[in-house]
Amino acid sequence: MTAVITGVGAVSAFGVGMPALLGGLAEGRAAIGPIQSFDARTFPTRVAGEVPVATITPAWLAQGIAGVDPATRDATIRLLAEAHTLRDRKIGFALLAAAEAWRGAHCGDAERDASLSIALGLEQAFLDDFGPIFTSPDAGGPREIRWDAARDSAVAEVRFRSRIDLAARAVGDLLALRGPTIVNVSACAAGSLAIAHAASLVERGAASVVLCGAADSMINPLGLGGMCRLGAPSPRNEVDACRPFDKRRDGLVIGEGAAMFVVEDEARARARGARIHARILGWGSTQDAYRVTAPRPDGSAARRAMERALARARLAPEAIGYINAHGTGTPLNDPAEANAIRGAFGADTDRIAVSSIKGAVGHLMAAAGALELAASLLAFERDVLPGTAHHRDLDPECPLDVIGPTPRPARVDALMSNSFGFGGQNAAIILGRAT
Amino acid sequence: MTATPPVQRSVAIAGASAISRYGATWRGLARALSDGGSFPGVPAETPLANPKARNARKMMSRGAYLAAAALAELMREVGWSAAQREGAGYYLGVGASGGSLDDVTALLDASIVDNHGTREFSTVAFGEHGLAACNPLLAFQLMNNFTLAHGAIFEGLGGPNGALFSRGSGTTAALIEAVHAIASGDCERAIAGGADSATHPVTAAELAREGFTAHGLEVAEGAGLLALVEVAQLRPSTARLGGNDAANLGSVEAAHRSSPDVIQLGSVDAAPSASLGVEVHAQPILVTGCAIACGRGRDLGATIADAIARATEAAAAVAELDVVVIAGWGPPAVDASRTWARTHAPRARIVDVAALGATLAAGPALGWIAALDLLAASAARRVLVIDAGVDGDAGAALFERGGAA
């Protein structure tokens, strides 16, 4: 059995919906700007690829979710609002993208047994909620977290953090899914791994339909602050903060959003007349097993992930016409990825177009692989390959055919998308044009 | 429904490791659970194999530390070479993240200000002072995948992988993926397990808030790992359970025959072994089925039954189960699992891992370890592990002594 994509939904810095994402990329635009969703003026990093909504409200969310039973939609949103968890922005993004994918695939009651394979980022810590219980037991003494008070019903609004699988539960509730839910938390590789898992379930006959993808937002004080402490973001607070594969690159820019897909068996999709956006031909995952804070410089483990994907797809390297790179724009990632690509593709590397959309929408962390796979569909939908925003001078350490800021017209029949996670998890997925 | 497909290659258990209230060993876990044995507690400072452990621990959450320590022990047991580790898969059920409380306290102290008598978190103060007060690697303490990644880095695991969140069936999903990775030929060796700690104050406070503690949930922590291999990788001449010699097991078999309703356990005073597999009487112990099921819209009993039906469809009849290990968390899950066992497998003995406390994502894996202990050191031939969580999802895994290696 072959897994195919029959529905896609996306939320990104370009806005809500796949048309916004593909439109922005096809026009070569970028959507990085000053952070609006919280007061970041004292943070080292103050720009991001933020979804254009300052606060996610029930009304905004309900307005964006179409094609779903309104009563179920409203009940799902109400529960989240009552628990004060809409503050965790990725939950709303997941709902929006899932509804778009489900609607686009024309799924209905016959698909309710679908499995859900979703990748999610960190629990969002609600640092505001620590305020009432952070005090000193003795007047003038050192302050500490009063856990006894935290357990007291008198401060019932204290939540500390959103549960990591809350978005998965909400998506399942929204669409009344009856299949098993699997939540992948493999950092920046998680989105790709969740989609690969979905394809695997279909290919091995364990599921006929899987709703899969990812949602994440680290654009909150602890998320952004944690990344700042790591030194991962560019120190420049400019809209061109992220410049993948460029000599001048100096770090990543954080993004947020979601991308969800309906993946099903090709024969089933054809039988019900569903439109096939792409075939999922192969995937591979490996671990660097190298260091906590750096990728393996020679890219050997990432290369093995690409080789595994090629082997599973039964494709020779020359069959790949485009690579959507992880391309974070950090000093260490990009040359390591270039080494990995050259290792996997050998002499064919020079004729394979490569780009990264992180300069345009930011690094979506757990959702990066999912959004970038959705963006890659531009190649099949419009015969256009996404550009690399803010890329100007190719770093000789990254000897690849990097597409510059302007999208490149081209027809490709197979493409690869890479994702590499903090901690060393690597994933590669190969899509094929629907025939 | 997610289930393993018809297995193209049989998957056997090559080794195990566990850290739990019972200590840093897997041997004897089931006996202790069955007999109410003593529980010395989770070792506070279980040593990691890697000399960088002291520095590493500063960077890790407790769950990551437990997983890395269990993985180090497992690698000692199975003795995989560097090349074998590079290709080995690693799938882990993980729990919520948890930064160092010292870091969180320092961060808050620098960021919470008095505003006319009300203590308020200030993002401005956080940006100015709070960030500098916390560990530069705080983000890595918070990333759930580091429960998997730290151990993989220390031990050189480089194959297919996944960190799956578990508040119920995620850990069983990790086993499904590891078994599939081997069965489909994606790798020859894989590790499946779970690691988690409910002892982090944030987690403990949330469990209390949600009412679990009031209903008897006992905060705990642990890790359990199985090393899995394609059965053909086992070498009969060397594959045996360390310390459990044939004579000892023979006496256990005899005891079982004379009193078939009672399962007696063999010696657990086993020295660490570098054996290639865990086997009894030249028979490997196989993972013959595993599945998960979603609880949305139906009662837990039906969900458990669904998962079990999928896990056991290609194996022997449920009526032939010798033991049912109950690894769910929360009284409803445990009660529903017991009800299923009494109704559908009345001959089977029930072993409950509840005595280990609420180890959350580690719970199902510790259940597998108990199953392994029973299969390796008693007359039991077929053990089912039931895993059900607080959100109504369920998982099931079937372990059997199988044909010759």
User: What is the residue extent of each domain of chain A?
Assistant: 3-125+161-432
Q: Which residue has the higher pLDDT, B254 or B148?
A: B148
Work out how many CB contacts closer than 8 A connect A with B. 242
Measured CA to CA, the distance from residue A91 to residue A235 in angstroms comes to 29
| Residue B290: other Cβ atoms inside 10 A | 32
Q: Give the end of a domain, one of B111, B133, B155.
A: B133
Torsion of CA B128, B133, B135, B138, to 10 degrees: -50
Q: What percent of chain B has pLDDT over 90?
A: 52
Q: Is B81 exposed, middle or buried (0-12, 13-18, 19+ CB in 10 A)?
A: exposed
CA angle B165, A182, A151 (to 5 degrees): 40
Measured CA to CA, the distance from residue A149 to residue A146 in angstroms comes to 5
CA distance B81 to chain A (A): 14
Question: Given its phi and psi angles, is residue B70 left (phi above 0), alpha (psi -120 to 50 degrees) or beta?
Answer: alpha
Return residues 104-143 of A near B (CB < 8 Å): 113, 115, 120, 122-123, 125, 127-128, 130-132, 134-135, 142-143
* Mean pLDDT on B7-19: 87
**Tens-place pLDDT, residues A267-305:** 999 999 999 999 999 999 999 999 888 999 999 999 999
Contact B181, B223 (CB under 8 A): no
A364: helix, strand or coil: coil
Q: E strands within A41-149? A: 47-48, 115-120, 134-135, 144-145
Q: Per-residue pLDDT for B267 more than 50?
A: no
* Mean pLDDT on B169-180: 97
**Yes or no, beta carbons of A230 and B148 under 8 Å apart:** no
B224 in the same domain as B79 = yes
Return residues 230-269 of B near A (CB < 8 Å): none
- In this predicted complex, what is the ipTM? 0.97
B228: helix, strand or coil: strand
The partner residue sitting opposite B108, judged by closest CB among A134, A172, A226, is: A134
Domain assignment of residue B379, given as a range: 1-97+139-405
Return residues 14-53 of A near B (CB < 8 Å): 38-44
For position B315, what pLDDT does the model report? Answer: 55
For position B244, what pLDDT does the model report? Answer: 34
Report, as ranges of residue numbers, the positions in chain A whose pLDDT lies below 50: none
Q: Which residue has the higher pLDDT, B249 or A18?
A: A18
**Yes or no, beta carbons of B162 and A291 under 8 Å apart:** no
CATH topology of domain A3-125+161-432: Peroxisomal Thiolase; Chain A, domain 1 (3.40.47)
B267 in the same domain as B118 = no
- Catalytic positions of A are 188, 326, 363
Any B CB within 8 A of A334 CB: no
Total of domains in chain B: 2
Closest residue in A to B166 (Cα–Cα) = A183
B11 in the same domain as B115 = no
The partner residue sitting opposite B162, judged by closest CB among A38, A163, A186, is: A186
A341: helix, strand or coil: helix
Any B CB within 8 A of A425 CB: yes
Closest residue in A to B85 (Cα–Cα) = A289
CA distance A387 to chain B (A): 30
The partner residue sitting opposite A183, judged by closest CB among B136, B143, B170, is: B170
Measured CA to CA, the distance from residue A83 to residue B239 in angstroms comes to 53
The β-bridge partners of B196 are B222
B161 in the same domain as B217 = yes
Q: What is the pTM of this model?
A: 0.93
* Mean pLDDT on B25-39: 83
For position A281, what pLDDT does the model report? Answer: 98
Any A CB within 8 A of B103 CB: no
In this predicted structure, which of A5-14, A304-313, B101-110, B368-377 has the lowest mean pLDDT? B101-110
Contact A324, A292 (CB under 8 A): no
For position B330, what pLDDT does the model report? Answer: 81
Q: E strands within A243-381? A: 256-265, 278-287, 322-324, 353-355
Measured CA to CA, the distance from residue A230 to residue B136 in angstroms comes to 6
**Tens-place pLDDT, residues B276-305:** 355 444 578 999 999 999 988 889 999 999
Mean of pLDDT over chain B: 81
Measured CA to CA, the distance from residue A234 to residue B348 in angstroms comes to 61
Return residues 123-152 of B near A (CB < 8 Å): 123-128, 130-131, 134-140, 142-146, 148-150, 152
Element (H, E) at B323: strand B323-326
Measured CA to CA, the distance from residue B95 to residue A173 in angstroms comes to 22
**Yes or no, beta carbons of B108 and A145 under 8 Å apart:** yes
B76 in the same domain as B93 = yes
The partner residue sitting opposite B145, judged by closest CB among A128, A161, A423, is: A423
Which CATH number characterizes residue B65's domain?
Answer: 3.40.47.10
Report CA-CA distances (Å) from B302 to A6, B288, B393.
31, 22, 10
Token pair, residue A316, equals 């020779």
Element (H, E) at B94: strand B89-94
Measured CA to CA, the distance from residue B176 to residue B159 in angstroms comes to 16
A265: helix, strand or coil: strand
Which of A49, A364, A45, A54 is CA-nearest to residue A225? A45
**Yes or no, beta carbons of B149 and A190 under 8 Å apart:** no
Q: Per-residue pLDDT for B148 more than 50?
A: yes
**Tens-place pLDDT, residues A412-425:** 999 999 999 999 99
Torsion of CA A368, A373, A376, A377, to 10 degrees: -140
Mutation site for A-interface testing, chosen from B145, B304, B387 by largest number of A Cβ within 10 Å: B145
Side chain identity at residue B399, one-letter code: F
Q: Per-residue pLDDT for B118 more than 70?
A: yes
**Yes or no, beta carbons of B118 and A131 under 8 Å apart:** yes
Q: Per-residue pLDDT for B51 more than 80?
A: no
For position B135, what pLDDT does the model report? Answer: 85
B237 in the same domain as B115 = no
B59 in the same domain as B126 = no
Contact B391, B170 (CB under 8 A): no
DSSP B232: G
Helices A333-345 and A300-313 meet at what angle, rounded to 10? 40
Measured CA to CA, the distance from residue B250 to residue A251 in angstroms comes to 64
Closest residue in A to B2 (Cα–Cα) = A206
For position A162, what pLDDT does the model report? Answer: 87
For position A123, what pLDDT does the model report? Answer: 83
**Yes or no, beta carbons of A186 and B148 under 8 Å apart:** yes
Return residues 302-361 of B near A (CB < 8 Å): none
B107 in the same domain as B91 = no
